[in-house]
Amino acid sequence: MRTDAGTERLLRELAPQVLGAVVRRYGHFDAAEDAVQEALLAAATQWPAQGMPERPRGWLVTVASRRLTDQLRSDEARRRREAAAAMAEPPGPVGPDAAAQDDERASGHDDTLTLLFLCCHPELTPVSQLALTLRAVGGLTTGEIARAFLVPESTMAQRISRAKQRIAATGARFAAPPAGEWAGRLRVVLHVLYLMFNEGYAATSGGETSRPELTAEAIRLTRAVRRLLPGDGEVAGLLALMVLTEARRPARCGPGGTLVPLAEQDRTRWDQELIGDGLALVTGALTTAPVGAYQIQAAIAAVHAEAATAAETDWPQILALYNLLERISPSPVVTLNRAVAVAMVHGPRPALDLLAALEADERIAGHHRLAAVRAHCHELAGDHDAAATGYAAAARTATSLPERRYLEARAAQLAATAGRARAAGTVGRP
C-alpha cells in the first residue's frame, strides 16, 4: 500500500490524463472536471485504506465516468445535448467501464497535450486560459493559482468557474487546434507551462520546498510541444530555462529540508547533464530564432549555471539581460529581479530606489518577495536593523513553510548581529 504522500503524488500525476480521457470520450469539459475531482477524492479516501487498484488510471476513469453519466442523466438539458452529440459522432463504447477499457487499450495514450490546448481556447480571455489550464492540467489549487497571479482566491475561483462555463458554451471539440489558432494558443500554453514549473520548483504553500512531480510534468509537456514545433525559439528557450533551473534542485535544500538560497548552494551538486542540455538549447535558440522573453530568462539562468562560484557570477551581464527583458516583457516580477542585479552591480541604494517604485504597484505591493528583496538590499548596505525588520515582515506573509522558516532565521540572525553591534558601541556613531 502506498503512503498518503505517495497516493497524493500519483493522483496529481494522473489527474490531467484522466480528465483528458473523460473529455475525449464524453465531452462536457465543465461536468467532466467536476466528475474527475470527485473520483480523485474517492481515490484519496479509499486507496490508502483498501490498497492500490491494479490499474489506477483505469479505476479513476471508471469512477469519473460513472459520476459524469449519473450527472448527465439527472440533467435534462445536458442529456439532450449528449444525445445530439451522439448522433453526430461515430458510435463507441457506451458504458463507463467500456470507456475505461477503451482508454486502457490505447496503450497508455496521454491526452494531456490535447487537454492543454483545449484549455487555451480562443473564446476565453488570456487570464481565464491560464487559470483553467493550471487547474485542469497542472493540478494546482485555486489558492496556488491566485498567488501566481497576485489576486485574491475568491477572484480566481470566479474566473475558473466562468472559464469552464464558457468552454461548455462554445461546444469545443476535444482535438488539436486548427492551424490558424496555433500561434495564439501557443503563447498561453507556454505561459501555463512556465507557471506550472515555477510552482513545482518553488512551492508557494505547504511544508515542501518543491514539488518534483509538477516540474517533471511541466518539462515533459514542454518537450512534447517542442517535438511539434522544433524550430520555435521560445519553446526551446522555455525548455532551456526549465532544465537549467531544475539542475539546481539537488543543492536547493539542506538538512531537514531547509531552504538554501542560490548564493549559498554547493554548486558541485548541480546536475551537469541538465546544465549541458540547457546551455545547448539556449545557444541554439538565440542564434537561430528571434529573441523572446523565455530565451532571455534562459540566458540569465545560463550565466548563473556557468559560474563555478557565486563570486564568479557575471552580474553586469545578468543586469543587461534583465534590462532587455524589462523592455520586451515588463512586469513587477521582472523589475523585482532586476533590482537584485542592480544591487549586485551598482550597490543597494539604487536598488532600494527601484523597489520603492514598486510599492505603488498593487500587483506586488505587500507581497513577501518585495519585502525580502528590500531586506536583502538593506543587508548589503549594512543596515542590519532594517534588514531584520524586513525579513520578519516577509516571513509573516510567506505561504511556503520552508521559505517562512528561512526568512525568520535570517531575521533572527541579523537582529542578533545588530544587537551585538549596539552592545559594542559601533552603531549610531556620527
Asked if 11 and 44 count as a contact pair (C-beta separation under 8 A), the reply is: yes
The residues near 392 (Cβ < 8 Å, ≥ 6 apart) are 407, 408, 411
Highest-pLDDT range among 11-20, 196-205, 336-345: 336-345
Asked if 139 and 15 count as a contact pair (C-beta separation under 8 A), the reply is: yes
Per DSSP, 287 falls in state: H
Residue 86 is predicted with a pLDDT of: 47
Instruction: Name the residue among 47, 34, 50, 40 with its Cα closest to residue 14.
Output: 40
Q: In the structure grid, which three cell numbers stand for residue 395, read together?
A: 516571513
Q: Place 277 in a pLDDT band, splitting at 50, 70 and 90.
A: very high
Q: In the structure grid, which three cell numbers stand for residue 127, read together?
A: 487570464
Q: Give the C-alpha separation, 97 to 380, whole Å.
A: 63
Name the residue with cell 531537514: 256
- Find the farthest-apart pair of alpha carbons in the chain and give their distance in angstroms, rounded: 87
Give the 3-state secondary structure of residue 206.
Answer: strand
- Pairwise pLDDT comparison (393 vs 187), residue with the higher score: 393
**Which amino acid is present at 206?**
G
Domain ranges in the chain are 1-107, 331-424
Query: How many C-beta atoms lie closer than 10 Å to residue 206's C-beta?
Result: 13
Q: Place 403 in a pLDDT band, splitting at 50, 70 and 90.
A: very high
Q: Give the C-alpha separation, 5 to 109, whole Å.
A: 26
Residue 88 is predicted with a pLDDT of: 46
Residue 44 is predicted with a pLDDT of: 79
Residue 76 is predicted with a pLDDT of: 54
Q: In the predicted model, is pLDDT for residue 2 greater than 70?
A: no
Query: How many C-beta atoms lie closer than 10 Å to residue 99's C-beta?
Result: 25
Asked if 199 and 144 count as a contact pair (C-beta separation under 8 A), the reply is: yes
Residue 409 is predicted with a pLDDT of: 94
CATH superfamily of 331-424: Tetratricopeptide repeat domain (1.25.40.10)
Q: Give exposure, 111-135, as e/b (b: 16+ Cβ within 10 Å).
A: bbbbbbbbbbbbebeeebbbbbbbb
Q: Give the C-alpha separation, 166 to 174, whole Å.
A: 15
Instruction: Name the residue among 365, 411, 367 with its Cα closest to residue 391.
Output: 411
Residue 331 is predicted with a pLDDT of: 93
Q: In the predicted model, is pLDDT for residue 304 greater than 90?
A: yes
**Which amino acid is present at 166?**
R
Q: In the predicted model, is pLDDT for residue 394 greater than 80?
A: yes
Q: Average pLDDT of 149-159? A: 84
Backbone angles phi, psi at 383, to 5 degrees: -90, 85
Residue 40 is predicted with a pLDDT of: 78
Q: Place 296 in a pLDDT band, splitting at 50, 70 and 90.
A: very high
Residue 151 is predicted with a pLDDT of: 80
Q: What share of the chain is helix, strand, coil (3-state, %, to 5)?
A: 75, 0, 25
Asked if 22 and 32 count as a contact pair (C-beta separation under 8 A), the reply is: yes
Name the residue with cell 541579523: 414
Highest-pLDDT range among 110-124, 128-142, 238-252: 238-252
Q: Give the C-alpha separation, 159 to 168, whole Å.
A: 14
